[in-house]
Chains A and B, each alone.
Chain A
């Protein structure tokens, strides 16, 4: 017992004090910078994209690039390929959005990301999450990492629970292949209202690399209403914590 106490006291405090701090080494998701695009005479970015997340079109002042972060796997190939510097790395982990269309960004019509705060917070300062994994385990590892002593999501009132009956929020990772459809739906049905669904990671948002195959792994939206989308492949633990906190602060338009 004394050895244990001594051991624990020797471990210094490691919990990160900065909330949602951008990571210096991380590649992050791509974003659109201020440099103009030259248009369809160069489509190097869309050619290298493994998930066809980028579309380039011509418009009056050069090119219109639109980038779907909900399909992006963050491989960084487009940033390396872009000769103009239109595509840049975004190191800010606060990437979660309430609407699917807000994940599609464009350099011409800068979309107004409206995080309309219509309802007051329904979850106050504590939220219970049920995690259902249906994918490659990357997002699961990152969700699990949110609970370690570095990120420590419990200090924000976020708990992971072992049954849908206790859960406020269903966190779904992975593209939801056919064999998981029934299990995921029944898990959702057993949650008490009000309940929310968060799609964690690109596969859960759009099916990612698996979209359109015979296993019908096309993401959560084909089965359940989704309230928040956290893009990334996998999202950084800070992106996940920040996303869950967005749901906690109650900026959801849809009724329960």
Chain B
């Protein structure tokens, strides 16, 4: 897929983008900048399967916020403030997103000319203050009790009921987007997949498609099949993991340990296919690194076994009354809010958002091969679990079918030594969390000058904050697991 580029003047930007974004089938991909001298707004047209990048040159470092009219812009504009020092006017609540007290105000990482002033002071962070009789706060993190990535949650509670959840991220901000531009392009894929390794296959795929779209080359049919098998195995492993996590938080340990074991089976499929349990270093620009055809027969048998093994476990889990009671009507996100905040992936589909990137954007065998879109309308923890269960089943079935229909051919297309000059590329992939976007821009020397990543979690963290409102504190772990969000994919 080519990235289409268009220009819109800064003062006409909101009036141009607003009607476009309100058209059904259009959605906001991301808002960012290339070197701080312009705003880029990526619009995805899901009815015509196009991606248009609207560029607005900037004169100063201020611009009018889009967030008051397009709610989901609020998160992108915060990141833009941290990474490029661009300040949105009329933003409903401007606060730092990635860089906090540990960083000085004069560090603006992605500006083309590095700022040299040394009179910066530590950045400030002020959580939203909720005041009133009986309101108290529960701060959690950044280090969590379990084995999870770091992040800070601040609950303002009234009794046992959560009034407001303030989510503060950025603790695993490692400067991935900047480092991407410093690496030779053939080595970029290793960092791309290490940005969020629980989605390594999806990240490697989005990166590869972005680079291939930059070169304007297509990969072999066989490589497309192998990439899809890899992506679906990752979805299977992570959906099992998330369902097991839900069972664990409900206290249904028999199911959570069984899911742990079955996830092990999914990982053994991944290991057979790619040599790595998390599928690192397999998908590369041009195709895949090696041909694992001799392993596919055994992977198919395992997928078949796993599908049969999962059925009774899931039905045992879902038919339990306590489980239903804990999940039903808990952590609701209404379809209206899900649309406003652009929720993606299983979280979006559980709130009646009919959007699955596999139906619209070229990656692997998609959209040629159609997968059923798993939809629910409840928007609660139960709906999100049901969407995952349906996807788990269809992914396992798909893996078997893809292995049966594997075409002959090469697995890797040779690519030129240097990236083309002044080019851009885009990769959109449906990861297990939802829509993942990688964007690449090159300069006049063919060096990557901007690499932007938008994980599904960027959209969905707001969804979690909405879901927990007016729920019990003790239901937070369930809400959290039902979204299954990534910290590292968000923080980069």
State the A residues within 8 Å of B (CB): 3-4, 7-8, 11, 14, 23, 25-27, 48, 50-51, 73-77, 80, 131-138, 140-145, 147-150, 160, 162-163, 174-175, 177-184, 187, 203, 208-210, 213-215, 217, 233-234, 236
Contact = CB atoms under 8 A, between A and B. Distances in A.
Contact of B142 (A23, A136, A147, A180): A180
A210 B174 contact: yes
A187 to B, nearest CB: 6
Given A26-B271, A137-B198, A178-B102, A209 B143 contact: no
B173 A148 contact: no
Given A136-B197, A180-B142, A187-B143, A26 B275 contact: yes
B261 interface: yes
Interface of B: 99-100, 102-103, 107, 109, 142-150, 170-176, 178-179, 183, 186-187, 190-191, 194-198, 200, 241, 254, 257-258, 260-261, 263-264, 267-268, 271-272, 275-278, 280-281, 289-290, 295, 312, 316, 486-488
Contact of A140 (B100, B149, B170, B312): B149
Nearest to A171: B147
A29 to B, nearest CB: 11
A137 B100 contact: no
20 contacts: A3-B316, A25-B268, A51-B190, A75-B280, A77-B281, A133-B172, A135-B172, A136-B196, A144-B147, A147-B260, A177-B175, A178-B103, A179-B173, A180-B142, A182-B102, A183-B171, A208-B194, A210-B176, A213-B174, A215-B174
Contacts of B109: 214
Contacts of B178: 213-214
Contacts of B263: 145, 148
A184 B275 CA distance: 32
B85 to A, nearest CB: 14
A51 B468 CA distance: 42
A21 to B, nearest CB: 13
Given A183-B142, A234-B278, A140 B148 contact: yes
Contacts of B198: 136-138, 141
B264 to A, nearest CB: 5
A138 B278 contact: yes
Contacts of A141: 197-198, 241, 278
Contacts of A178: 102-103, 173
B261 A209 contact: no
Given A3-B316, A25-B268, A209 B191 contact: yes
Contacts of A208: 194
B102 A145 contact: no
B194 A183 contact: no
What are the 4 closest A-B residue pairs judged by CB atoms, nearest first? A138-B197, A27-B275, A148-B260, A162-B145
Contacts of B277: 26, 142, 236
Contacts of A51: 190
Nearest to B197: A138
B149 A26 contact: no
Given A137-B198, A148-B257, A178-B102, A25 B175 contact: no
A177 B173 contact: yes
Given A137-B488, A148-B263, A179-B102, 16 more contacts: A26-B277, A27-B281, A131-B147, A135-B174, A137-B486, A138-B198, A138-B280, A145-B264, A145-B267, A148-B264, A175-B174, A178-B102, A181-B102, A182-B102, A187-B143, A214-B175
A105 B428 CA distance: 41
Given A27-B276, A142-B277, A150-B261, A213 B147 contact: no
B171 A217 contact: no
A25 B272 contact: yes
Contacts of B99: 179
A26 B276 contact: yes
Given A138-B200, A143-B147, A209-B191, A180 B171 contact: yes
B254 A177 contact: no
A138 B196 CA distance: 8
Q: Which of B198, B280, B295, B487 has the most CB of A within 10 A?
A: B280
Contacts of B187: 50
Contacts of A213: 174-175, 178-179
Nearest to A210: B174
Contacts of A8: 254
Contacts of B102: 178-179, 181-182
Contact of B281 (A76, A131, A160, A182): A76
B190 A73 contact: yes
A26 B172 CA distance: 28
Contact of B195 (A136, A175, A236): A136
Nearest to A215: B175
B107 A214 contact: yes
Nearest to B179: A213
A140 B147 contact: yes
Contacts of B179: 209-210, 213
A208 B187 CA distance: 13
Given A3-B316, A215-B173, A162 B146 contact: yes
A4 B130 CA distance: 44
A179 B100 contact: yes
A148 B261 contact: yes
Contacts of B281: 27, 73-77
Nearest to A4: B254
B150 A133 contact: yes
A7 B316 contact: yes
Contacts of A25: 268, 271-272, 275, 295
A131 to B, nearest CB: 5
A233 B194 contact: yes
B174 A177 contact: yes
A80 B289 CA distance: 10
A150 B150 CA distance: 26
Q: Which of A11, A178, A233 has the most CB of B within 10 A?
A: A178
A240 B361 CA distance: 39
Contacts of A144: 147
A177 B172 contact: yes
A215 B178 CA distance: 10
